[in-house]
Amino acid sequence: MSRARAAIILAAGQGTRMKSALPKVLHEVGGRAMLDWAIAAAADTGAARTIIVTGAHSPVVGEHVAKALGPNAPVIQDPPLGTAHAVRAAEQAMAGFDGDIVILYGDAPFVPVERIEAMFALRAEKGGLVVLGFEARDPTGYGRLLLAADGSVERIVEHKDATAQERAVKLCNSGVLCADARTLFKLLAQVRNENAKGEYYLTDVVALGRAAGEQTNVVIGVEADTLGVNSKVELAAAEAGFQQRMRIAAMEAGATLIDPATVYFSHDTQIAADVVIEPNVFFGKGVKIAKGARIKAFCHIEGAEIGEGANVGPSARLRPGTKLGPKVKIGNFVEIKNSTFGEKAQASHLTYVGDADIGARANLGCGTITCNYDGFDKYRTTIGEDAFIGSDTALVAPVTIGKGAYTGTGSVITKDVPEGALGVARARQANIEGWADKNRAKKRKDKPA
């Protein structure tokens, strides 16, 4: 990478078709805001500086960007007068930058890093400007790339301004553009708004550049990678496309998905080979699954690490901070939060474990509860190796169950149980002879005839 790189991401659109109070670019695909997909792509291509152009109508976008990239990253386009005007809003923030800039979009989350890399490489080889194009099955609505005899881009025409002959062209413009910083802003200053929409089009820099001796070349990508999202319908389509790619990638990496269409991934889900995933499983952010694990049907998992050969579910919920060691067994209707399980530990059914550390081979009986919250603070429970927690035990944290210790079924444990001991905390049983017969007779006598 010989020249410095930077990115300008356009995120100032009104997003009115989303019909939502949440700004369009903050809607999520694969558990990540669309804008964050573009920010990540810029970072992955080595951008030394990334500027996000936001709108005055969406201060929350600026706050989101400042949190992610620092207070100097967001700039405001006000009023919105088109894409060229939006890029010019970033000019001051790019002052002093001497290198190549790529223009990305906050509502186009899937532009592949390798395509952006190809654009930078082509610019390094041939100079001038580089655009990202694609062959559309139905080019209606897209700007068309009109090529010269040498294969370079002569100009880009928007659909509304195109002639019938130009609309027949299927090579379309994604809007992604790469150019030398000084050349880019010099050309932008010449853009006029003499078009059907009365806006300043970024695409006009191609013809202006050609007139100034700057050739524009094209990298051709795939239509699905360049699609923008403008409505909830398109958002759902983007999610569906993402999920399909993730399912295929997981299976190609050696995971078994019994019913792929019912398994949902996050952008950062990591699944090793020989993992088996049964139907109707949802992975939120931050899930990592080691080889040989099995995730049974109807599990909801987020922020969790699952060890080699572990068995989870069916109908289990693993919340953030969960770490399961090798060969751990988590059964049906078990919820775990911010807890660790040592090798071969198990909670087979109907159990809640929050803020706890469970030793190797420990067994949590049905109905075990860690009482970790007093309404103000959270407290931890520690269960030693080979401990056995009797069914329906409530462990009132902070409390420690020693190595190899037992708790009696139905106990409410409020004090530590030493290693090898049995902790029992329940009322002594008393039998009242004849009570049931007398009560039954009384009820029958009182019942109206």
User: How confident is the model over 393-444, as pLDDT tens digits?
Assistant: 999 999 999 999 999 999 999 999 999 999 999 988 899 999 999 999 988 8
Q: For residue range 203-223, what is the model confidence (pLDDT) as tens digits? A: 899 999 999 999 999 999 999
Crossing angle of the two packed helices 34-44 and 59-69, in degrees rounded to 10: 30
pLDDT in tens, the chain (449 residues): 579 999 999 999 888 999 999 999 999 999 999 999 999 999 999 999 999 999 999 999 999 999 999 999 999 999 999 999 999 999 999 999 999 999 999 999 999 999 999 999 999 999 999 999 999 989 888 899 999 999 999 989 888 888 999 999 999 999 999 999 999 999 999 999 987 788 898 989 999 999 999 999 999 999 988 989 999 999 999 999 999 999 999 999 999 999 999 999 999 999 999 999 999 999 999 999 999 999 999 999 999 999 999 999 999 999 999 999 999 999 999 999 999 999 999 999 999 999 999 999 999 999 999 999 999 999 999 999 999 999 999 999 999 999 999 999 999 999 999 999 999 999 888 999 999 999 999 888 877 76
Whether omega for the bond prior to residue 314 falls within 30 degrees of 0, making it cis, is: yes
Catalytic residues, which ones? Answer: 349
Asked whether 202 and 103 are in contact (CB, 8 A), the reply is yes
Whether omega for the bond prior to residue 398 falls within 30 degrees of 0, making it cis, is: yes
Pairing of strands 144-147, 153-157: antiparallel
CA distance to 260, 440, 445, 448, per residue, from 436 (Å): 56, 6, 14, 20
CA 119/CA 99 separation, integer angstroms: 14
Q: For residue range 270-287, what is the model confidence (pLDDT) as tens digits? A: 999 999 999 999 999 999
CA 404/CA 396 separation, integer angstroms: 19
Exposure pattern of 331-358 as b/e (b: 16+ CB <10 Å)? Answer: bbbbbbbbbbbbbbbbbbbbbbbbbbbb
